[in-house]
Amino acid sequence: MKIPMKNIEEVVFKTASSKMSALSFNKSANNIILCLHGWLDNAASFMPLFEHLDGHSDFNVIAIDLPGHGASSHKSADAHYHFIDWVYDILVLFESNNWSNIHIVGHSMGGMIASAFSAAFPEKVKSLTLIDSIGFIYGDEKESTSILRKGMLSRIKVSSRSTQSKKSSSLSLEVATRARVLISDLEYRHAELIVARNLLNIDENWKWRSDRRLNTISPYRLSLAQCQQLISDIKAPVQVIYGSKGLDFVRKGIEFFGPLMSSQKIVELEGGHHVHMEKPKETAKLINEFIASI
């Protein structure tokens, strides 16, 4: 799939301990729209939107690769990918660039990260657009021991696999893309965009550059009460754009978490979990109008 590359640049944000890569559209603009992708996706998942967000010529649209994804650095060997730590990564990004009052667009897990960040740091967020995402994944306190056990065992399993080489003579962009299509609702052209950024080709040897530890099970979950408080503490205007064939979790979350938001707009588009890739023009129009109204 070819996306017009005019005004799209690769950028890197460096902190004391990590490198966060990103795709930047309209880099010379003064204002920012920050895009956060979903689990095992990367910045390329927002590329179809870029060409349709040019209605805001004064906005620099930045889609980052969260740590462990895409071209960003991995967590250190003694670290893991806790959901809350990604909130810290976003805070560091804001602090190191002196950002404030930013519009954030988050898809799936990226929407959850953006929601938690918006609740904890309301002064830094001007608006929040959630794409097929609302609320958080929470756990029953009675299952805490079981969740902990599953999480620890998953770390052992992934750690044992990490000793094996990530290179594979049978791995290719086509093979990896078809595998992603089989386990998702992505069209081939959209899966190819994401997979291409998650792969490296060195001397005709392909390897994954996303961190295998992303596949571990979280050893703990937020409680329902914690989730409710976080959602209630979001002060920025919120727009939820969800796919008619998206996640059941989102449709249920709209009824459960939607009323807890002080200001929200909810819109359904025909499409699946990656509705922003399937319907980029319609999604961008909603984002453009939402931001213009604030």
- Catalytically annotated residue among 108, 127, 133, 210: 108
108 labelled catalytic: yes
H or E stretch at 109:
helix 109-120
Q: Where are the alpha helices (DSSP H) in 162-265?
A: 173-182, 188-197, 224-232, 248-257
Q: How far apart are CA 119 and CA 124, in angstroms?
A: 10
d(CA 237, CA 103): 10
3 state DSSP class of 271 = coil
Distance of CA 214 to the CA centre of its chain: 13
Burial 132-143 (b: 16+ CB within 10 A, else e): bbbbbeebeeee
Please identify every residue annotated as catalytic.
108
